[in-house]
């Protein structure tokens, strides 16, 4: 007899057949992942801090005598050399004063010469009938008084020459000079204040605060490499680029700041011009006095440590972890402890063994316990 089905079953049958076929289809292949091996590699230990650039030399130029400002002999904002003539003050009154003091020295010297003659004459007459001891005493006193007058006149002459020299203001250091605070034609004096300032340019200091605990860790880490002499300092500028010069730490503050528990370290680093220097034109240099920079303290010699690409490291509330592919091609989540790391690579202190395969590509397709098809990850930074 023919099999008769209800009308509803006949309607649903075409819909159920594809579902049954799909349920009986075999599972798809395991997801493909790119893996890297955890390897011992040379790693440069690095610690970063925020620092500020500071000029080594800073001078405010002031007038040491009262006179009219006659000339400004520099271009504002350019670099000057030690000894360059920068300002000229009115010389006339000080030249006259110097000549007057020279005349006073000559007059006192003439009087001293006459006193010496009188003393010799009195000493010669002392042995004769006309000689008197009191005359010799008077002559000695007069000669010594005139000698003192000569010394006083010479001192006044030297002071006059110094005041005359002060009418020329020269650069005591080399560096970039600021704008002039006083224009030509004004009367300046020691009370006027700074006429301009000079800031040295090369080399520069970089000061950066370090937590007291971090400083102790740095000293322990590099104790067998010469302590702070065993590190170099690199700078990252405000635009994110790395500065091409390296520096050395040359000073550590003797005390810790009580309010921040930090200690100041200072490094010295070169600051060469970006292009050849042209006389009378501003000089561009990478580092500017007062600028903020990121200070990277690095060991001179790299250390060997277990390293993996930084992109393979994931994080959750419990800390950092990676996905490891076991010899049976199963995924295992592994908690790790990181050491010194860079944007490209991470140093693993614990939780991972050398030679283990770590998932780097296809992380979004894996979870603990599933089977995967591992293959070497494509080459890239830190691999």
As to burial, measured by CB atoms within 10 angstroms (0-12 exposed, 13-18 middle, 19+ buried), residue 173 is middle
Same domain, 97 and 145: yes
Same domain, 370 and 287: no
Distance from chain centroid for Cα 94:
44
Question: What's 360's domain CATH number?
Answer: 2.40.420.20
> Which of left, alpha, beta for 175 (phi over 0: left; psi -120 to 50: alpha)?
left
The reply to whether 20 falls in a domain is no
The reply to whether 368 falls in a domain is yes
The reply to whether 17 falls in a domain is no
What span, in angstroms and rounded, lies between the C-alpha atoms of 220 and 197?
Answer: 42
**Tokens 């060469």 belong to residue:** 272
The reply to whether 363 falls in a domain is yes
Q: pLDDT tens digits for the chain (383 residues)?
A: 444 545 454 444 455 545 444 444 455 788 888 899 988 887 666 778 899 999 999 999 999 999 999 999 999 999 999 999 999 999 999 999 999 999 998 988 898 888 888 878 777 776 655 556 677 777 788 888 888 989 999 999 999 999 999 999 999 999 999 999 999 999 999 999 899 999 999 899 999 998 888 777 777 777 766 667 778 888 988 888 889 899 988 888 888 888 888 889 999 999 999 888 888 788 899 999 999 999 888 766 666 778 888 888 898 888 899 999 998 988 999 998 887 666 677 878 888 888 889 998 888 888 888 988 888 888 765 45
Same domain, 329 and 293: no
The reply to whether 220 falls in a domain is yes
Same domain, 207 and 238: yes
As to burial, measured by CB atoms within 10 angstroms (0-12 exposed, 13-18 middle, 19+ buried), residue 271 is buried
Q: Where among 253, 283, 303 does a domain terminate?
A: 303
pLDDT of residue 188: 93
The reply to whether 183 falls in a domain is no
pLDDT of residue 124: 75
Same domain, 216 and 294: yes
Q: Where among 303, 319, 340 does a domain terminate?
A: 303
Question: What's 205's domain CATH number?
Answer: 2.40.30.170
**Per the confidence metrics, is the pTM higher than 0.75?**
no
Question: What's 117's domain CATH number?
Answer: 1.10.287
The reply to whether 51 falls in a domain is yes
The reply to whether 76 falls in a domain is no
pLDDT of residue 21: 47
Same domain, 268 and 346: no
pLDDT of residue 10: 44
Same domain, 311 and 287: no
Same domain, 218 and 294: yes
**Tokens 């500065």 belong to residue:** 243
Q: Give me the domain span that covers residue 353.
A: 32-40+304-376
Same domain, 204 and 297: yes
Same domain, 227 and 287: yes
Same domain, 268 and 205: yes
Q: Where among 166, 188, 217 does a domain terminate?
A: 166
Count of the separate structural domains present in the chain: 3
Same domain, 109 and 123: yes
CB 257 within 8 A of CB 20: no
> Which of left, alpha, beta for 278 (phi over 0: left; psi -120 to 50: alpha)?
beta
Q: Which of 285, 291, 204 is nearest to 247 (CA)?
A: 204
CB 167 within 8 A of CB 65: yes
């Amino acid at each position: 007899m023919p099999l008769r089905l209800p009308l509803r079953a006949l309607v649903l049958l075409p819909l159920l057949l594809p579902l049954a076929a799909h349920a009986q289809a075999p599972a798809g292949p395991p997801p493909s992942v790119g893996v890297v091996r955890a390897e011992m590699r040379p790693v440069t230990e690095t610690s970063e801090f925020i620092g500020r650039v500071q000029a080594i030399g800073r001078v405010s130029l002031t007038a040491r005598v009262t006179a009219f400002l006659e000339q400004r002999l520099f271009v504002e904002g350019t670099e000057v050399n030690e000894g360059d003539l920068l300002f000229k003050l009115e010389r006339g009154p000080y030249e006259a004063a110097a000549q007057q003091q020279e005349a006073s020295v000559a007059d006192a010297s003439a009087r001293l010469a006459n006193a010496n003659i009188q003393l010799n004459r009195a000493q010669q007459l002392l042995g004769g009938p006309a000689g008197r001891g009191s005359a010799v005493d008077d002559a000695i006193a007069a000669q010594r008084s005139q000698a003192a007058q000569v010394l006083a006149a010479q001192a006044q002459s030297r002071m006059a020459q110094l005041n005359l020299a002060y009418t020329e203001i020269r650069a005591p250091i080399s560096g970039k000079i600021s704008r002039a605070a006083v224009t030509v034609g004004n009367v300046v004096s020691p009370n006027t204040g700074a006429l301009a300032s000079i800031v040295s340019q090369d080399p520069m200091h970089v000061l950066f605060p370090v937590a007291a605990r971090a400083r102790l860790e740095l000293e322990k880490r590099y104790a067998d490499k010469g302590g702070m002499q065993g590190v170099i300092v690199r700078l990252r500028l405000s635009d994110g680029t790395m500065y091409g010069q390296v520096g050395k730490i040359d000073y550590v503050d003797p005390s810790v700041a009580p309010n921040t528990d930090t200690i100041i370290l200072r490094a010295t680093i070169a600051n060469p011009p970006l292009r050849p220097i042209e006389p009378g034109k501003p000089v561009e240099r990478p580092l500017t006095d007062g600028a903020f920079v990121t200070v990277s303290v690095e060991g001179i010699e790299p250390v060997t440590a277990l390293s993996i690409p930084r992109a393979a490291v994931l994080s959750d509330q419990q800390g950092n972890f990676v996905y490891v592919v076991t010899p049976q091609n199963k995924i295992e989540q592994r908690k790790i402890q990181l050491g010194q790391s860079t944007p490209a690579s991470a140093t693993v202190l614990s939780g991972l063994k050398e030679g283990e395969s770590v998932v780097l590509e296809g992380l979004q397709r894996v979870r603990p316990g599933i089977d995967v098809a591992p293959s070497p990850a494509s080459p890239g930074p830190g691999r």
